[in-house]
Structures are given as C-alpha cells and as structure tokens.
Structure 1
Amino acid sequence: MSFLIEHWQFTSSQPKRIDAYPEQLQANHWYHCERNDPDTKAWLRKHHIPKATLEQFITNENRPSFHPLGDDNFLLLLRGINSNHSVVAKEVSSIRILFYQGALITTQTGSDDTVQSLLHSLNKHREPENLAGLVNQIIDDLNQKMDDYNDAMEASLEQQDHLPHSDNKLRMMKNSLLSVRHFLKPQQHAIHDMVTAKPSLIKLRSHQYRYSLNTLIRLNEEIDYFLEEISLHQEENKNLREQKLNQNSYLFTILAAIFLPTTFLTGLFGVNLGGMPGLKSDLSFTLFSIILIIIFIIEWLVIKRFGFINKNKDRDN
C-alpha cells in the first residue's frame, strides 16, 4: 500500500485518519496517492474509474484544466510553486484532484508543500472540516505561494529605482515570470470553469471558490504588470547604453576635430623639414610649437563658441 500516502475520513464533524487498506472507494473519504507508483493506476482501475478519466488523471500533462465527468464528478489539474520567497520559481508542483462518486482522490509527484501544509492542519484538528473545504484549501494554498512569489518580485523591482539590476538579472526575472504565467493563466480558466459548472461539491462553499478565483485574477494581473515593468527597465538600460556610446563617439569626434589640423601640420613638416626655411635656426622648433599651440587654442575657442562642448555636457546630465 505504498502508493497510498494519506487516507482521511470526513463523514463526521472531525476528520479522522484511516490506516487500514481501502477495499473500496467511499463517499466523503480523501485518498492521497503517489502518482508515479504503478499500484496507483491498478488500484483506481480496480475501483472502476473510467479508462479515459484514469488516463487524464495519471498522465504527465502539466497544463491546468477542469474536466466535468457527469453525475457531479470532475477532474481538476492544478500547478503551483513551492515556497522559496525568491524571484525565481524553480520548483513547480503538480496536483491532480478527482472527485468521483463522492470520494476525493488526489495525486502528487515527490514532496509538495501544499499537501504537507494541509496534513499539518488536519493533524492539528483545524480546518478543513469537509471535502469542499479541502479542495478550497488546496487552491488557496497554491494562491498564497504565488502571492509570496509576487511579493518577492515586487520588492526586487522596487530596488531597481535605487540600485538598477543588470540585464542578466532582469532577463532571469522575466523568464521566471513567463514560466509562471504559462501555467497560471490556464489555472485561472480552470477554476473559472469549475465555478461555472457548479458541481455539488463546489456549491457547499461557492463564495469561497469565487474568492479564490478573484485572487487568481489578481495574481495574473500582477504578473502582467511585472512583465511590463521589466520591459521598461530593459528599454531604459538599452537607452542608457546607447546614450553612453553616443557620448563617447561625440567626444572622440571633438578630439579628432581638434587634433586633426595640428597632426596634419606636424606630419607635413616632419616629411618636408629638409626643405623648409629656418631649418638652421635654433628658434625654428620653438616657433613651430607656438604656432601649433595657437592653432589648438583657436580651434578650442571656435568649438566652444558654437556650443559643441556644452552639448556634450548636456548629454551627460
């Protein structure tokens, strides 16, 4: 019975943990199984779960979705992130929920914070008191972890105004948000479909499920906002790089304009110095240097007069 991780009875006011092997599915019981264990599929087949439903329940499909199965039965596929209070969502969990003939069956792969939190609450004799509350608590716990993730993302983006992030950091944050939005948007549609379908289990806590749906809508809106803000920061970083490049190019152009005439004269005299008058004079080099300095000063004054130097300073500001 290693495939069955937890078995709880919700037929009384106080949920009760069951250790005995379940010979048959019973209404108001919760069965939590290991999805990848081969015995899980065999056990579900033994209890006459329809083949199509069973394949959807065990499959590795990760896209959140809601599937009404008739007679108030339904299959709900959910995803979430384990809490790490980081802007990078590395651990993505997957929870499958099957409500069939009054019994609730869930599966997980590996360790899942949401289920562990739920079991902790049950062991402490807290909520949930029924299966409707159990499903609602699973959804709310997934939403809470997403809320924590969004809070961490918001705090990181607020730092951008004081200590700008590198392009690599912004790219990493954007990729993380895109991966989260990839499953959170379908999850919103899945919960909406479930609330709209109104199976009997949901009717018991319809207002709580609508609140959970509204939370999902808000979370998706926040992620869209974060993505837009990151795009703005990336564009700002790009503009700063281009501005700095333009400033450097402008500075080199000014320097070239100043030194080009003097360089031309020094080159010309260097090649033709043998034929220049005043070669034998001791003052020839001194006079030539003074002439170059005068030309340099005149060029500097002309460039400054036309405002090229001030334009460069304005760009720096």
Structure 2
Amino acid sequence: MEKALIYSYLLDGKGGGKSMTAEEITQWQPSDGLLWVHLDYSVEGAPEWIFAQKDLPNVCAQALLHEETRPRATLVGSGILMSLRGVNLNPSADPEDMVSIRVYADKNRIISTRHRRLLTVADIVTSLDENRGPKDSGEFIQELVRGLTLRMETTIDMLEERTDDLEDTVIAGGKNGLRSELSAVRRAAIMLRRYLAPQREALSRLCGEQAPWLTETHRIGLRETSDHLLRLLENLDSARDRAAVVQEELVNHMSEQMNQRMYVLSLVAAIFLPLGFLTGLLGINVGGIPGAENNQAFFWFIAILCSLTALQVVVFKRFKWM
C-alpha cells in the first residue's frame, strides 16, 4: 500500500490537514477526523488495501480499481461513488485524452484512485497545506468537480480561439494544410464531448442525491458547477459546428477552384481540337495533299486556322461558354 499511496491527509475541519503515512492510515479511526487517501490503483498494494476496508461496499471497491470508466455519480448506502474525468494537462499529452479519477466519499472518509496525474488533485493538496482547503466531504467533492471544470474551460476556450483563427484564414483565402487542422479541431471537440456530456449528467444526479452529509450549501455549489459545465458543452458544440461549417466552406472553395481550372482546360481543348484535326490531316505523308506544290499554301493554311479559332471564340461567346 505504501508504494501505491500518492497523498493521504487527515482534515482538521478548518481548511487544513495533516499528511499521514501508510502506517498511520492503518491506525485511523472515524473519531480522529475526516481521512482522505489518494492511490494509484495500478501499483501493487492498492487493490489489497482497498478490498481490506471492511465497511467499503464491494461494488465500490471494484469501481475504484476499474481501468475503463464512464463519468457517473451513485449513492451507495451513506456514501457516494463517483467516476469523473479531467483534461490531460500532463507534458506531451493531448488535452482531449482525458484523465479519469474514481472517488468514494462518505462522512468520515474519502478514497480516490487514478493512474495518470491530475492537476486538480494537486491543487486540493496545495489548498490543504495553506489552510484554505475543503473542511468536509461535501466541500471536497465540490472543490474537485469545480477544479476539473475550470481546467476544462481553459482547454475549450483555446479550442474556440483555434476555430476562430482557422475561420479567419479560410475567409482570407489561405487553404494550405487547413483541412488537417480543421479535422483535428473537430476530433478534439468530439472526444471532449464524449466525456463531458455524461459528466454533466453525473453532476446533475449528484445534486439530487440525499446523502445525509451532503448539505444544501454543497448542492448549490454543485449545481453552479453543473450549470458551468453545461455552458462549456454549449461552447464545445458551437466550436465543433463552426469547424464543420468552415471545413465545408473550404471544400467548396477548393471545388470551385478545381471547376474553374477544368473549365479553362475544357475551353483550350475545345479550341485546339479542330485545329489539331486539320494539322494532323494535312500532315500525313501521302500524295495528293492540297497545296503541296504551292509556296504560299502554308501561309494560307495559317490564316484558315486563325479564322477558325476566331470563329470558335465568337460561337463560344454567343452560347455564353466563355
């Protein structure tokens, strides 16, 4: 368990907390105060310790160790089991590759697990060290979901700004490499929405759960975060739809350019088709070619070709092909 332990705090109920060792955790009693244990579920010792907690429902123990999770919030007995997602702000990582965190919380204890680092958890640790952290389980959940949502806002704002830049570039006439960038924006928006939509539903459900330690003040804070997440989802949908419109406009521009080029090539081919036929016909190496013995025949032939070209141009203009 010591290898899997990332953070462990005994909250004092005043915004601060005391860091605890693995040995101190084993000696903890509910009367000592609110205990928060944060583990890496993939490290040896974490599953054994979690399943050793006798008052932890077996379904919650299994959920804390699942690798693949979908955002949810469920009342289990007097505790709440949650699976949440946060944007991946780790170095060399894509923000849309979201990091999961699993949390079981009741009045006396909070157990959270993850595999990849989540900056929101580090923010909570900092706030506890500075005596401005959560005072109870309800405030802990409130701070966690609010921190996850605020970091999502930064990522979604950057996605919207990127969409604005691409839209301006397309309007200005720039097209090189934009299709791949627009596809990347749409792909990022789709991946983010995949988890944000169920996370918003989970927060809405959490606001309605009747856990005895979850007060009306906690529910108001969670409801505000849920509304904030709804606005972010709307912004995300807007960025995705705008990227789709810009990509469609880009395709239309490229199709129009292609049609214009094909139009010019078609006109050139139409003009030179009869000219090529005549020059090919008179260029065959057989006897009886008209003008073969006349020194002025070449110049007359050139005049005929020029006249034919002028006649074609007149006909094309008459039929509005040019």
Normalising by structure 2, report the TM-score: 0.87
Whether contact under 8 Å (1:177, 1:227) holds in the other structure is: yes
In 2, Cα distance between equivalents of 1:121 and 1:68: 27
1:13 is aligned to: 14
Change (3 A) 1:221 1:59: same
Whether contact under 8 Å (1:87, 1:149) holds in the other structure is: no
Deviation, structure 1 residue 302: 2.5
Deviation, structure 1 residue 78: 0.5
2:190 is aligned to: 178
1:293 is aligned to: 306
Report the residue type matching 2:257 in the other structure: K
Moved more, 111-120 or 84-93: 84-93
Give secondary structure in 1 for the equivalent of 2:14: coil
Give secondary structure in 1 for the equivalent of 2:83: strand
Over residues 269-290 of structure 1, what are the superposed CA-to-partner deviations in whole Å (9 max), with x where a residue is unaligned?
A: 2227731343222111111111
1:241 is aligned to: 254
Change (3 A) 1:90 1:220: closer
Change (3 A) 1:88 1:172: farther
Deviation, structure 1 residue 215: 1.1
Change (3 A) 1:139 1:12: closer
Deviation, structure 1 residue 124: 2.2
Deviation, structure 1 residue 136: 1.1
1:61 is aligned to: 68
Matched residues, number: 308
In 2, Cα distance between equivalents of 1:87 and 1:111: 11
**Of 308, 311, 317, the match for 2:321:** 308
Moved more, 14-23 or 147-156: 14-23
Report the residue type matching 1:191 in the other structure: L
Deviation, structure 1 residue 90: 5.1
Change (3 A) 1:198 1:57: same
1:136-155, aligned counterparts within 5 Å?
136-155=142-161
Over residues 222-262 of structure 1, what are the superposed CA-to-partner deviations in whole Å (9 max), with x where a residue is unaligned?
A: 22222211221222222222222222222122112211121
In 1, Cα distance between equivalents of 2:179 and 2:250: 8
Deviation, structure 1 residue 95: 1.0
In 1, Cα distance between equivalents of 2:13 and 2:313: 93
Segments of structure 1 that go 5 or more residues without pairing to the other structure are 310-317
2:218 is aligned to: 205
Give secondary structure in 1 for the equivalent of 2:169: coil
Over residues 106-154 of structure 1, what are the superposed CA-to-partner deviations in whole Å (9 max), with x where a residue is unaligned?
A: 1121322111122122222223333322211111111111111111111
In 2, Cα distance between equivalents of 1:294 and 1:147: 70
Report the residue type matching 1:13 in the other structure: K
Deviation, structure 1 residue 88: 4.6
In 2, Cα distance between equivalents of 1:53 and 1:127: 25
In 1, Cα distance between equivalents of 2:139 and 2:118: 19
Whether contact under 8 Å (2:72, 2:199) holds in the other structure is: yes
Deviation, structure 1 residue 156: 0.6
Whether contact under 8 Å (1:143, 1:216) holds in the other structure is: yes
Whether contact under 8 Å (1:82, 1:92) holds in the other structure is: yes
Sequence identity of aligned pairs in percent? Answer: 25
1:128 is aligned to: 134
Segments of structure 2 that go 5 or more residues without pairing to the other structure are 171-176
2:37 is aligned to: 31
Say whether residues 1:117 and 2:129 are aligned partners: no
In 1, Cα distance between equivalents of 2:240 and 2:190: 8
**Of 203, 207, 213, the match for 1:191:** 203
Whether contact under 8 Å (2:17, 2:131) holds in the other structure is: no
In 2, Cα distance between equivalents of 1:282 and 1:112: 91
Whether contact under 8 Å (1:65, 1:76) holds in the other structure is: yes
In 1, Cα distance between equivalents of 2:92 and 2:38: 29
**Of 252, 255, 273, the match for 1:260:** 273
**Of 242, 262, 269, the match for 2:282:** 269
In 2, Cα distance between equivalents of 1:87 and 1:172: 15
Whether contact under 8 Å (1:273, 1:279) holds in the other structure is: no
In 1, Cα distance between equivalents of 2:254 and 2:117: 45
Whether contact under 8 Å (2:64, 2:112) holds in the other structure is: no
2:173 is aligned to: none
Change (3 A) 1:119 1:255: same
In 2, Cα distance between equivalents of 1:74 and 1:130: 14
